[in-house]
């Protein structure tokens, strides 16, 4: 254990003195959240501002005498705004809406043509529907009075919905939706680069041979390296967690103003999420080590690890297993269990059972991968391949019948 | 001491190549044994087997009383390995580098041992400079200190002067001589004849994985009727071809 700590300390010192590791694993991810959130806030505020200040531009076609004058008045928000345009204008964003009105017997059919790619056009649809509803209700009342009916008798029922969720839970729910994916990306960024440098970088620089001929057993060497990369990953993730949470809260406050209050996080849930987070970092480092074993250079290793992890994330996150299987079972899926743990930490729903199970599974898988790496590293083909016996021979050495050879 | 008998190593690359073919030799404490051969002769492969980085296909290698096959960890404890590649961690300082290896070799008082070696090799002036900022000569000093930090009884040098200038080479050769004087068993591979002539008590001439002749310089002279090692070497290789 003493040697593991020595290797861990040395790897940490070496990595933290590498500007590339510091910038890409720690600096960039911590700046990433505030920048993204600032950009999002500005975009939302800009869109909001534009829509609030400018009336919708609507072209009404097909109105015939005696004509529904009420409709024209209702949709003409500002007489000064041009209300003539074509489909082409709508596609180009020069017009927000075309309301096509046609008579169908005694009633009218109104079709609202809009452009779903433009926020302003989408808001115009909503605005037009609200306006037309008011006209319709006025007409219905008028007809009811003419027919000698009580206008209130037309309202058979009214529907109103009220959100009973606590305000703090609604805010945490937003964080719980955003943070898992963001944390996964950040964890990958923080762990993969140091893992590649600690492992392949050392072989490329020719120092791994020296280490392997020096350490009596190779276990402490590998374990120390895995723990060092995991520690760097966790430092990065911790920084991200704070930077990310503060950025999201700040963004929400900027957009919604005083409607929201700063969320109150359940300390117990947050503490419970630490073991799954740590075990996932260890698993990611072990997986990176295994993935980059055949790589001879740092660049090769970066390409390999990026491909493997993008494929892994897409495969894990794209399957919607939450609906298909009992929640506890998702603890068996690495990455997914981390996402679940983080979202559970924000929602206050993470249970001890789930945290223990996901941590155990992550560490068990990491152990298997570390065993694989250790077996391959012991083989000369790893260190000296492909010029000599090659990496494939090293992988072949994992077969049970050959285990006795070493 | 080192005792090698019938050591063989083959590679598939992609055809079967016998890199080391039934080589046998011994190196006793207080002796420098030189493996002399051209590039690709099998010197490095033999040294990698002896230092447990590779497994032999056939034969036996006993180092410090331990078999490289069955007790590689004990072998690693008793050897110091130095090659032309200094194998230093560029982002560690010279002192950190020596201390790190002292700790992973489980030296009893790593700090004290580090200080001793810094003093012994005159590293003090650059002990706290990062290794990637050191000159080649400074790096080689740190590398030597790293190799002997655990006071090994066997030292293995794989073409250690490759790429070094005359002054740095001279310092290194003097160090190798001092190891012999200290009673260490030194295995030294080179393709530079004058180094072998100067240092080695006994020389094994290796070519295409096979040892063509073994003996002291005098014994090799009498075997080949040639005077200079270069002539002896050419005589043996031509005889083989």
Q: Least CB-CB distance to A10: which of B79, B100, B130?
A: B100
- Helical residues (DSSP H) of A197-323, grouped into ranges: 202-205, 208-214, 219-256, 267-291, 298-318
Q: Which residues of A fall within a CB distance of 8 Å from B94? A: none
Phi, psi (rounded to 5 degrees) for A252: -65, -40
Residues of chain A with CATH 3.40.190: 54-154
CATH tag, A54-154: 3.40.190
Query: To the nearest 10°, the Cα dihedral for B79, A212, B47, B63?
Result: 40
Q: Which fold has domain B2-92+136-240?
A: Rossmann fold (3.40.50)
Nearest to A292 by CA among A209, A198, A361: A198
The ipTM, to two decimals, is 0.82
Task: Say if CB B7 and CB B22 are below 8 A apart.
Answer: yes
Phi, psi (rounded to 5 degrees) for B204: -110, 120
Q: Least CB-CB distance to B91: which of A18, A209, A210?
A: A18
Q: Is 70 exceeded by the pLDDT of residue A285?
A: yes
Query: pLDDT digits over A133-184, tens only?
Result: 888 888 888 888 888 888 777 777 777 777 676 666 666 677 677 777 777 7
DSSP A101-159: EEEETTEEEEEEE--TT-HHHHHHHHHHHHHHHHHHHHHHHHHHHHTT--GGGG-----
Question: Do residue B89 and residue A207 have CB atoms under 8 angstroms apart?
Answer: yes
Question: Do residue B92 and residue A14 have CB atoms under 8 angstroms apart?
Answer: yes
Task: Say if CB B195 and CB B167 are below 8 A apart.
Answer: no
Per-residue pLDDT at A28 = 73
pLDDT tier for residue B118 given thresholds of 50, 70 and 90: very high
Both tokens of residue A219? Answer: 């276990």
Per-residue pLDDT at A336 = 81
Considering only alpha carbons, which residue of chain B is nearest residue A218?
B73
CA distance B216 to chain A (A): 30
Average pLDDT over residues B189-204: 88
Task: Say if CB A389 and CB A382 are below 8 A apart.
Answer: no
Q: Which residues of A fall within a CB distance of 8 Å from B74? A: 216
Among A313-327, B155-169, B182-196, top mean pLDDT goes to B182-196
Q: In 3-state terms, what secondary structure has residue B128?
A: coil
Q: Note whether B76 contacts A: Cβ–Cβ < 8 A.
A: yes
Per-residue pLDDT at A199 = 79
Q: How many CB pairs under 8 A join A and B?
A: 79
CA distance A32 to chain B (A): 27
Q: Which residues of B fall within a CB distance of 8 Å from A13? A: 91-92, 96
Task: Say if CB B95 and CB B118 are below 8 A apart.
Answer: yes
Q: Least CB-CB distance to B85: which of A206, A211, A388?
A: A206
pLDDT tier for residue A404 given thresholds of 50, 70 and 90: very low
Query: pLDDT digits over A228-260, tens only?
Result: 888 887 787 777 777 777 776 777 666 666 555
Query: pLDDT digits over A45-75, tens only?
Result: 666 555 556 788 888 887 654 455 577 777 7
Q: Is 50 exceeded by the pLDDT of residue A290?
A: yes
Bridging pattern class, strands B185-190 and B154-158: parallel
Q: Count Cβ neighbours within 10 Å for each residue of B142-159 and write b for 16 or more, e otherwise.
A: bbbbbbbbbebbbbbbbb
Q: In 3-state terms, what secondary structure has residue A35?
A: helix
Query: For residue A218, how many other CB atoms are within 10 A of its CB?
Result: 17
Average pLDDT over residues A260-280: 77
Task: Say if CB B116 and CB B110 are below 8 A apart.
Answer: no
The single residue listed with the structure tokens 């073409």 is B159
For the CA atoms of chain B, what is the radius of gyration? 18
Q: Which residues of B fall within a CB distance of 8 Å from A389? A: 11-13
Per-residue pLDDT at A94 = 84
Considering only alpha carbons, which residue of chain B is nearest residue A224?
B104
Considering only alpha carbons, which residue of chain A is nearest residue B131?
A14
Q: Note whether B3 contacts A: Cβ–Cβ < 8 A.
A: no
Per-residue pLDDT at A406 = 37
pLDDT tier for residue A197 given thresholds of 50, 70 and 90: confident
The single residue listed with the structure tokens 């285990």 is A403
Question: Do residue A405 and residue B12 have CB atoms under 8 angstroms apart?
Answer: no
Question: Do residue A214 and residue B105 have CB atoms under 8 angstroms apart?
Answer: yes
% chain A with pLDDT above 70: 74
């Amino acid at each position: 254990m003493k040697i593991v700590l020595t290797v861990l300390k040395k790897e940490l010192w070496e990595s933290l003195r590498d500007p590339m590791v510091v910038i890409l694993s720690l600096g960039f991810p911590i700046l990433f959240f505030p920048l993204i959130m600032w950009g999002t806030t500005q975009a939302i505020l800009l869109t909001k501002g534009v829509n609030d200040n400018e009336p919708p531009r609507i072209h009404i076609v097909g109105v015939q005498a005696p004509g529904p004058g009420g409709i024209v008045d209702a949709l003409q928000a500002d007489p000064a705004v041009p209300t003539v345009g074509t489909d082409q204008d709508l596609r180009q964003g020069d017009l927000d809406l075309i309301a096509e009105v046609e008579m169908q017997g005694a009633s009218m059919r109104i079709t609202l043509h809009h452009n779903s790619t433009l926020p302003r056009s989408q808001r115009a649809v909503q605005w037009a529907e609200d306006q037309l509803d008011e006209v319709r209700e006025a007409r219905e009342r008028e007809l009811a009075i003419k027919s000698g009916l009580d206008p209130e008798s037309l309202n058979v029922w009214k529907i109103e919905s009220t959100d009973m969720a606590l305000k703090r839970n609604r805010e945490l729910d937003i964080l719980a939706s955003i943070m898992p994916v963001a944390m996964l990306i950040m964890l990958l960024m923080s762990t993969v680069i140091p893992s590649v440098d600690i492992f392949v970088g050392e072989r490329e620089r020719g120092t791994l041979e020296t280490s392997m001929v020096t350490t009596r057993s190779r276990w402490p060497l590998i374990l120390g390296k895995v723990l060092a990369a995991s520690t760097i990953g966790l430092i990065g993730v911790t920084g991200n967690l704070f930077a990310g949470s503060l950025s999201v809260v700040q963004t929400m406050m900027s957009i919604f103003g005083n409607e929201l209050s700063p969320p109150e996080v359940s300390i117990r849930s947050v503490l419970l999420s630490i073991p799954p987070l740590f075990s996932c970092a260890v698993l990611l480092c072990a997986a990176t080590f295994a993935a980059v074993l055949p790589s001879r250079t740092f660049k090769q290793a970066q390409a390999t690890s990026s491909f493997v992890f993008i494929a892994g994330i897409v495969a894990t996150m794209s399957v919607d297993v939450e609906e298909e299987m009992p929640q506890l079972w998702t603890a068996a899926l690495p990455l997914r269990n981390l996402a679940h743990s983080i979202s559970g930490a924000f929602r206050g729903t993470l249970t001890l059972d789930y945290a223990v199970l996901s941590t155990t599974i992550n560490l068990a898988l990491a152990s298997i991968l570390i065993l694989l790496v250790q077996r391959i590293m012991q083989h000369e083909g790893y260190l000296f391949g492909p010029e000599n016996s090659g990496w494939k021979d090293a992988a072949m050495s994992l077969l049970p019948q050959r285990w006795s050879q070493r | 001491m080192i005792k090698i008998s019938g050591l063989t190593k083959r590679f598939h690359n992609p055809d079967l190549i016998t890199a080391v073919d039934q080589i046998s030799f011994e190196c006793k404490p207080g002796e420098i044994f030189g493996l002399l051969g051209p590039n690709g002769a099998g010197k490095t492969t033999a040294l990698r087997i002896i230092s447990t980085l590779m497994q032999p296909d056939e034969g036996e290698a006993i180092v410090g009383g331990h078999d490289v096959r069955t007790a590689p960890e004990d072998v690693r404890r008793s050897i110091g390995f130095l090659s032309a590649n200094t194998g230093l961690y560029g982002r560690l300082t010279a002192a950190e580098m020596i201390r790190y290896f002292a700790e992973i070799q489980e030296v009893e008082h790593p700090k004290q041992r580090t200080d001793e070696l810094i003093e012994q090799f005159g590293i003090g002036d650059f002990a706290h400079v990062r290794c990637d900022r050191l000159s080649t000569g400074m790096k080689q000093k740190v590398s030597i200190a790293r190799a002997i930090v655990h006071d090994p009884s066997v030292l293995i040098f794989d073409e250690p002067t490759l790429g070094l200038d005359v002054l740095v080479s001279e310092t290194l050769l003097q160090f190798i001589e001092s190891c012999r004087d200290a009673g260490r068993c030194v295995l030294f591979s080179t393709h530079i004849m004058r180094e072998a002539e100067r240092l080695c008590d006994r020389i094994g001439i290796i070519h295409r994985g096979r040892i063509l002749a073994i003996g002291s310089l005098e014994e090799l002279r009498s075997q080949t009727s040639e005077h200079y090692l270069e002539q002896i070497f050419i005589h043996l290789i031509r005889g083989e071809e």
